[in-house]
Structure 1
Amino acid sequence: MVNSNFSPQDKKPGDLILSADWNAAMSEIKRLQQAKVNREGADTLKGSLTIQEALNVTGDVKISGNRLKSADGLGIVETNKKDWLRINPDENYPAIALHKPVAIVSGGLAIGELGQQPQGVLKVTQSTYLATAGGNVGIGTIDAKAKLHIASGDLRLDANREIFFADNGQIRSVDNNHRIIFRRSEDKLELREFGDIIFSPGATAGNETAKVFLKSNGYLGIGTTSPNFHLEVGSRDTQGTWKLGISGKGSTGNFRQWTLRTGDGATNTEINKLRIRDEQANSDRITVDENGNVMFTGTVTATAFSGIGAFVRGMILMWSGMPTEIPQG
């Protein structure tokens, strides 16, 4: 420190210099050569100031301009000294723009553009929004209508992820007329649709196949999109053999499969017939043609037989005993 009795002042030729003053002056010169600047009061510097080590400031740092700049002259930080602070302001869209106040509940935070954002909004990049307002979060919009609102984009999940409902819940489109409802408390899954419900298995090209078509009137078509009955199997437009199968396995493990058929594929010989077919035997057991004629293959056993105006060709065996005791030949 400077000698408390040392008072720097100009000397005239011939003035005496006391040893104490000389020693104090030498000590001050030595201190200024070795120590960092430590002055009271203010200095005005003209030109650039180069600091080779860290700059530690106790108190405020004030600048008369709006920017702190890098060595190449680009702005690093810019402020209007009142409402906002921008980082990397020389780019078209600064890295970070903070507008006073920064708190999300009462001011805007923009990352990617300069504009002031509405209250409670966080905007990320030029064209994509991540906005919070009133407890709602918007992606692609600053007007979030729900806890999570995605606008102008899709929701994508990685493989083996899920959409989880704590209990019950629904997936809905537009209104309550188009919903998939998970009624877990009732152990029910409901498809609630104003119009038709279409099932398209085998859609290898990504297009509708409509293999099963449930119309809004309750008619179900398998192989047809215009069923006229509560259950219609087949098609008026597509050639083929249409089958309705019934299968079963007995207690002994024997398996049997029956089909109710119409059509025969490539030809029209059987197109007007309804057939009940034993698939294991590969044989039609009952055939009904368009004239109402019925043909049976095998033995017909009946407890009663009656007919009005009917006639029989051939021999009729009348037997009142057990079917297993019918005489042969």
Structure 2
Amino acid sequence: MKNLLNSLRTITLIQTIRATVYTGLLALAAAAVFGASAFSQAPQSRFADVNGIRIHYLVSGKGDPVVLLHGYAETSHMWLPLIERLAKSHTVIAPDLRGFGQSSAPPDGYTKVGMAQDIHALVSGLGFDHIGLVGHDIGLMVAYAYAAQYPKEVDRIVLMDAFLPGVGNWRDVWLLRDLWHFHFYGETALGLVKGRERIYLEHFWNDFAADKTHSVPERDRKFYAAAYAQPGHMRAGFEVFRAFEQDAKDFEQFAKTPLPMPMLVLTGEKASGEFLIQQGRLVATNVEGIVIPRSGHWLMEEATDQVVPKLVEFLNR
């Protein structure tokens, strides 16, 4: 019993140290984005218990709520430059999805329908029944699943560069030329990437960018690699891909009832291009599509000066 208690104390201490380090890194990143004079306005880091798991989220500002959903190989951290702008007129909520960042990483629950239900429970718990919604990469799939399940609660939605499983010729999207990583899961895959998380993630940051030297910056790469190296988090990321087969079935059904709210689709010329815009028009009735020239998949990092103003303008309409 004494050994068990000592082990539990050690685990608690390690978790506390990790949370403290993460908070410190987040504070430094926020200071870099918001500036020291505006540090008091930087987003707050909070936690909420929803659907039996713990969700970490950033929150900032006041006004009509906007929820920002990150994608794979990143966390809520990716949205800091946008939070700064949106928080002037909105309550901005940027969660770490189930299995990512500082959120819990349970062994299952990674269909996009289920992940959207996590976010809905978070939003409802915060007292909001209408939101603007933005999703990038895996986050756009969760955003679509949210809007399809709760269409009367979403005022407008943004989908940013990736694809919608189960919609149109989704298997032909450019990302699927790189099909191996969508089937890279299980114990062998986990064993291969343990301690080498950054090597694996570099594939996404480099190969999905128009120019790998102008992709996700080094400071952020270190931040994300540490986040994904946490116990259970690489497994969670793999499970997100494993769930695509079920996601495709769910989205095929959702697409039979087009979304009514305004939709903005932003894509990179060197990434999803027109494909995601075409998918958007298959699932919604009011779609504006914009291809960002010379950009790859990492829109927030590769084309910040183009993307942030477009997002702010659309969400402020």
Please tell me the TM-score bracket, short chain as reference.
under 0.3
The structure with the greater share of residues assigned to strand is 1
TM-score scaled to structure 2, two decimals? 0.18
Query: Which structure has the larger Rg?
Result: 1
The structure with the greater share of residues assigned to helix is 2
TM-score scaled to structure 1, two decimals? 0.17
